[in-house]
Chains A and B, each alone.
Chain A
Amino acid sequence: MIGPGQTAVAAPVKLAIEGVSKTFHTRHGSVHALENVNLQIREGEFVCVVGPSGCGKTTLLNIIAGLETPDTGRVLADGKPVTGAGSDRLVLFQEPALFPWLDVMGNVLFGLKLKPNLTAKERREVAEFYLRLVGLEKFMHANIHELSGGMKQRVALARALAPNPRVLLMDEPFGSLDALTREQLYGDLQAIWQKRPKTIVFVTHNVREAACLGDRVVLLSARPGRVRGQFHIPLPRPRDINSVEVARHSAEIIHALKPHLTPDTEAVAGE
């Protein structure tokens, strides 16, 4: 485990999450989702966030994206406070959120059309490249309702990667994919990230996935989510999810994660 401030690469800080807390108030009472979360993410870093279900991972991504506002604290992107959503911080949501009024191609083109300085032909080529990457070039003209859950997630992945955002916030993007497709996409995602450097925050339940993909794995505790630990994964890339080194790192993280899995044990820990 490493302490805060220690970093693997000396790139400038891209995202700074400073003392972020968030409580949701509903008719049934209030839910304390995030408690004083502090995190620095450097330019070009691939950070995985793991934590139990309901601990506020999605909420944290939404706050970084500028879609929700924290109760306290703030998020800085390139040193400037985040006040709203923008294409510099693209979110790949937990649910695919594809647009039903567009076909598959139209969805992948959506973000590309918002980028100036591209010809229509270039946009199509980029979109086709990413559709091929996720293995769906044959479904270019399919309607969204004609796709399976996993296919929708892959279209959403293509739509998120196509505009080549500086920061990509990914919320359990591989949740409903089969193991084989997933393994292939681990490779593709690492390759794209190396070829077109970007800062990635990747949320997952799957510790092994996190250890395979991340430069750094951030552990969140159960509700209210706080940063419970950070692990550097100094393995060379491309990494194979089935490799012994990845397994060793994931075992280490799981060992550290166990005491924080339930709110009860957290209360016992009494911080």
Chain B
Amino acid sequence: MKRWLPPILFFAALAGAWEWLVRQGVWPRAIVPAPSEVVRYLVTAVADGTLLGATGVTLRRLVLGYLIGFGFGLPAGVLIARFRFFRHTLGLLALGLQSLPSICWAPLALLWFGQTETAMAFIVVMGCVWSITLATDAGVRHVPPIYRWAAMTMGSRGLHLWVHVILPAALPFILSGMKQGWAFAWRSLMAAEIYVAILTGFGLGHLLHYGRELHAMDAVLGIMLVIILVGLATDKLLFAPLERFIHMRWGTERA
């Protein structure tokens, strides 16, 4: 209880001060809505289903693209770590493309796939895949050889060695790459939804875009809040358990 008191007080004070300033008429209402208006928007948008629908559409895109990115990135990282040929080819490509914000793919993605879910997925995949690839590569190459040796003298080899020794030993690296990939994918998806109008689904980014077009700043702020909450929640749900596992097993200090 004590732990929760400071943040609750802090955010309550923040909202209170903001509400008070808006009511004093410091800024025009059309530019800066009061927290109470934002809350009112959120209540109606949840009630009429637009917000949940949009969140669902966005999450579906994110998860789908992320799974594809992970499914490609992990084996690609393994190949790069394992074979010199892939390190000098795919490895360099990954290094280069990782430094490119994946929203830069939007013009090409639209040209290739049109205004479709495929274009959205492509941008998400490009956002996360290279982080996961490079982290897996680094993790695999940092595995102390003694682990591999110990496992080999107990009869582990081939796929068993990878699944039960090398990848688990590289887990701390891989997880940090997964988190970075998730953050990149989330940001690029938001950018893509704001930037690209598609008819197959109305995501949070689109809502934000139309909120701006309609000059509904209460909606814009409300949706921003939802985006923050979704980002926090997925991080906690997806990565916190894995992180706790790593802290527990490796004995690394918990933050």
Q: Which A residues lie at the B interface, using CB under 8 A? A: 62, 65, 67, 84-87, 89-91, 93, 95, 97, 99-103, 110-111, 114-115, 143-146, 159, 163, 169
User: If A97-B147, A100-B250, A145-B251 touch, does A65 touch B153 (CB 8 Å cutoff)?
Assistant: yes
Distance from B223 Cβ to chain A, minimum over Cβ atoms (Å): 40
C-alpha spacing A70/B149, complex, angstroms = 17
Distance from A222 Cβ to chain B, minimum over Cβ atoms (Å): 25
**CB <8 Å contact, A67 and B153:** yes
Find chain A residues with CB under 8 A from B146 CB: 93, 95, 97
**CB <8 Å contact, B152 and A67:** yes
Type the 1/0 row for B193-228, where 1 means its CB is closer than 8 Å to any CB of A.
000000000000000000000000000000000000
Q: Which B residues lie at the A interface, using CB under 8 A? A: 146-147, 149-156, 160, 164-165, 168-169, 171, 248-251
Q: What residue of chain A has the Cβ atom nearest to residue B152's Cβ?
A: A85
Distance from B159 Cβ to chain A, minimum over Cβ atoms (Å): 13
**New contact pairs (9) apart from A67-B149, A114-B154, A146-B251, CB-CB < 8 Å:** A67-B153, A86-B153, A87-B154, A93-B149, A97-B150, A111-B154, A114-B155, A114-B156, A163-B155
User: If A143-B249, A143-B251 touch, does A97 touch B156 (CB 8 Å cutoff)?
Assistant: no
The 5 closest A-B pairs by CB, nearest first: A87-B155, A145-B251, A111-B154, A85-B152, A101-B168
Find chain B residues with CB under 8 A from A144 CB: 249, 251
C-alpha spacing A199/B160, complex, angstroms = 27
User: If A85-B153, A90-B154, A111-B155 touch, does A99 touch B168 (CB 8 Å cutoff)?
Assistant: yes
Distance from A16 Cβ to chain B, minimum over Cβ atoms (Å): 19
Distance from A258 Cβ to chain B, minimum over Cβ atoms (Å): 33
9 CB < 8 A contacts A-B: A62-B149, A85-B149, A87-B153, A95-B146, A99-B165, A101-B168, A101-B171, A143-B251, A159-B154
User: If A100-B249, A143-B248, A143-B249 touch, does A91 touch B155 (CB 8 Å cutoff)?
Assistant: no
Find chain B residues with CB under 8 A from A145 CB: 249-251
Distance from A38 Cβ to chain B, minimum over Cβ atoms (Å): 23
**CB <8 Å contact, A91 and B160:** no
**CB <8 Å contact, A90 and B165:** no
Distance from B246 Cβ to chain A, minimum over Cβ atoms (Å): 8
Q: What residue of chain A has the Cβ atom nearest to residue B155's Cβ?
A: A87
Find chain B residues with CB under 8 A from A87 CB: 153-155
**CB <8 Å contact, A163 and B150:** no
User: If A85-B152, A93-B149, A95-B146 touch, does A114 touch B251 (CB 8 Å cutoff)?
Assistant: no
**CB <8 Å contact, B154 and A99:** no
Find chain A residues with CB under 8 A from B149 CB: 62, 65, 67, 85, 91, 93, 97
Find chain A residues with CB under 8 A from B153 CB: 65, 67, 85-87, 89-91, 169
User: If A99-B169, A143-B248, A145-B251 touch, does A91 touch B150 (CB 8 Å cutoff)?
Assistant: yes
C-alpha spacing A146/B248, complex, angstroms = 10
C-alpha spacing A65/B118, complex, angstroms = 52
Distance from A227 Cβ to chain B, minimum over Cβ atoms (Å): 24
**CB <8 Å contact, B168 and A110:** no
Find chain A residues with CB under 8 A from B154 CB: 87, 90, 110-111, 114, 159, 163
User: If A85-B152, A97-B150 touch, does A114 touch B160 (CB 8 Å cutoff)?
Assistant: yes
